[in-house]
Amino acid sequence: MDKIVIRGLRIRANHGVNEEEKRDGQTFELDVTAFLDAGSARRTDDLADTVNYAALVHKTTEIFTARSYNLIEAAGDDVAEGLLDAFPRLETVTVLVKKPQAPIRDADFDYVGVEVTMTREDVNTRKQRF
């Protein structure tokens, strides 16, 4: 199993349960790990045989900013599912949504975050239910 790794993707968005988070927005940081079989890409050295990491970055940003979420759990879920939908070569996606400026009084931290892992099978099962 191969993986494409994106670390520290900073995206400005208006997510959160507090009114000021929705109004003013903040910068989130995402780590995305996309698992796939890139065996043929390793042999052919052809971008068409893998997933373009630039396309992953753009799609992640598009999904993450498409709407305002109350919870970063929901945002991470939508990103993971959306990437699996958009890139058929991906088998599993892990998305860590970090919130460095979470409004927590009297606390010193690097970030709070939620990590979501989803497989293609998870997405297919979900779609069968609805």
| Choice among 59, 98, 99, 127 that is catalytic | 99
90 and 83 Cβ atoms separated by less than 8 Å? yes
How many other C-beta atoms lie within 10 A of the C-beta of residue 121?
Answer: 11
Using CA atoms, how far apart are residues 75 and 53, in angstroms rounded to an integer? 20
Using CA atoms, how far apart are residues 71 and 56, in angstroms rounded to an integer? 22
Would you call 127 a catalytic residue per the annotation? no
51 and 89 Cβ atoms separated by less than 8 Å? yes
| C-alpha closest to that of 28 among 12, 16, 17 | 12
User: The tokens of 99 are what?
Assistant: 């919130």
Catalytic positions: 99
